[in-house]
Amino acid sequence: MAVISAPRIALEDLVFTNAFAALGERFYESRTPSGLEGARLVAVSPDAAALIDLPESELTRDEFIRIAGGTAILRGMQPFAALYGGHQFGVWAGQLGDGRAIALGEITNKRDEPWEIQLKGAGQTAYSRFADGRAVLRSTIREFLASEAMDALGIPTTRALAMVANDEQVIRESIETAAIVVRLAQSFVRFGSFEIFAARGEADAIRILADYVIARFYPECGDGDDRYVRFFEAVVKRTARLMAAWQSVGFMHGVMNTDNFSILGLTLDYGPYGFMEGYEPGHICNHTDQGGRYAFDQQPGIGLWNCYALANALAAIVEPAQLEVAIKTYVPELRAAFLETTRKKLGLANAETEDDQLGQDLRTAMAEAKSDFTRTFRMLADIRTAAECAANPELAQAYREALLLALGGTPAAAEWLGRYERRLERETRPLPDRVAAMNAVNPRIVLRNHLAQEAIAASEAGDDEPVRRLLAALRRPYSDDPEVAAYDRPSPPGRPPIVVSCSS
């Protein structure tokens, strides 16, 4: 997570453009939001605001709240809803599109980065079908918090600038109240944006869209005849690295449909997501996913499946044989990224051949004991080698016993811990450096479902401060400060798990 420092500007000085709209009306429909009148500002992300050079003070102005609520349009905005299709749970769903999201336009910041601003929950569009186009407070808080939490974990994601809400009633499984999240991304183009035109046999539209994405976001692919296959290979590799990042922190997306996969390799569309608590490789976080297609351990394979779906769409402009070569880079990229992350999480600066197996065996032990995923990895930094624990062997033994207990206390867990200690003895990095490096990649806290639900319940009762406090902690997930450590709380024993579904 980079710290951004740039000149700050006022709301009225923002200059809106719309490069996506310039592609033509085949790609979107113009749509003015049907906003939330009298909306209240629930929370803002100062870090996201810095991406478009806005100081936090600008986000509390009445004018901004009206923009976030979809009831005010600034000069230069050209609101639109994008068209796309997609495979949902492995089945082609045909035309989809932004059914409850409306883009306001694009801002280029002082660092020459384009950022598209989008309102999710801003009302019906041509792609809403029979839906109301609204989002509810519950799901909006979940997306707002998750977007900013994932960025703080260093995982590519869309961002959340702010969220607003009012008392308008929205019917889901029960009657809830409406809300809007203001999302930021350099682009919201998805795999399904290409698939819809492949299904319609419109190769020229695929080419237009690909040229747009390449020129703006993949300039390294050049402008030669091979630019499309280079582009595809770059997307494949970004997707593989994203899957490795999800697995490394125990993140479960829940709905990995191709319309929810970003062409930029971002985590996109937070619905029934979850962070792993007691480690179960086959855990299904989405109650709607009864077949387990998107279970935690299936995510890397689904990432590859989705890349094949994108390849099928691009086959209209790229030779299939070239696409086959490019897609073969997925598995090596995934494995390399995951092994690199595993070494960092284990505190291993020097690469050895056994490191991959050491990581696999740790996860096997964690699965057998249903170890708390986040806490167990964080505890690894407490382990000391014999040389390192000379000054305080009693404390080192206490750390060892705590980790062994977290791993189930089995002979297999003890054998793994012995191997790990011997592996650490071959490291040359000073202990303080190793601990600092490990604590910079193994978070103290993640957005557990019960933490999100506590904030949601407070906001539904009229108190938005818990959302803001939780956001502030999630923006510093690696810190041991008391304000952060207060959220290092697994679900209380005996409490039934919180059920999330596609309505989440």
- What's the per-residue H, E or C state across 105-147? EEEECCCCCEEEEEEECECCCCCCCCCCCEEEHHHHHHHHHHH
Q: Are strands 80-82 and 175-185 parallel, antiparallel or unpaired?
A: unpaired
Whether 148 and 33 share a structural domain: yes
Whether 110 and 172 share a structural domain: yes
The token pair that represents 266 in the structure block = 């971002």
How many domains does the chain fold into?
Answer: 3
Whether 293 and 336 share a structural domain: yes
Whether 137 and 267 share a structural domain: no
Residue 381: inside a domain: yes
Residue 172: inside a domain: yes
Whether 79 and 144 share a structural domain: yes
Active site (annotated) includes residue 259? yes
Residue 434: inside a domain: no
Residue 58: inside a domain: yes
Residue 490: inside a domain: no
Q: What's this model's pTM, rounded to 2 decimal places?
A: 0.96
Residue 470: inside a domain: no
Calpha distance 458→501 (Å, rounded)? 21
Whether 243 and 282 share a structural domain: yes
Domain that holds residue 229: 210-340
Residue 140: inside a domain: yes
The pLDDT score that the predictor gives to residue 7 is: 54
Q: What is the DSSP letter of 57?
A: G
Asked if residue 14 lies in contact with residue 117, where contact means CB atoms within 8 angstroms, the answer is no
The pLDDT score that the predictor gives to residue 389 is: 86
Calpha distance 273→245 (Å, rounded)? 15
Whether 30 and 165 share a structural domain: yes
Share the mean pLDDT of the chain: 95
Calpha distance 170→392 (Å, rounded)? 59
**Using one digit for the tens of pLDDT, what is the confidence trace for 352-391?**
999 999 999 999 999 999 999 999 999 999 999 888 888 8
Q: Which residues of 186-214 are buried (b: 16+ CB within 10 A; e: fewer)?
A: bbbbbbbbbbbbbeeeeeebbebbbbbbb
Asked if residue 34 lies in contact with residue 168, where contact means CB atoms within 8 angstroms, the answer is no
Calpha distance 303→329 (Å, rounded)? 13
The pLDDT score that the predictor gives to residue 172 is: 86
Calpha distance 407→89 (Å, rounded)? 34
What are the residue ranges in the chain where pLDDT is below 70? 1-7, 496-499, 501, 503-504
The pLDDT score that the predictor gives to residue 3 is: 47
Which phi and psi (to 5°) does residue 171 adopt? -95, 120
Whether 268 and 409 share a structural domain: no
Query: Which one of the listed residues 47, 98, 259, 269 is annotated catalytic?
Result: 259
**Using one digit for the tens of pLDDT, what is the confidence trace for 85-113?**
999 999 999 999 999 999 999 999 999 99
Residue 205: inside a domain: no
Whether 154 and 243 share a structural domain: no
Whether 354 and 329 share a structural domain: no
Whether 182 and 248 share a structural domain: no
Of 379, 396, 428, the domain-final residue = 428
Neighbours of 316 (CB within 10 A): 18
H-type helices in 168-226, by residue range? Answer: 191-199, 203-217
Of 340, 364, 380, the domain-final residue = 340
Of 340, 366, 400, the domain-final residue = 340
Whether 146 and 235 share a structural domain: no
**Using one digit for the tens of pLDDT, what is the confidence trace for 21-77?**
999 999 999 999 999 999 999 999 999 999 999 999 999 999 999 999 999 999 899
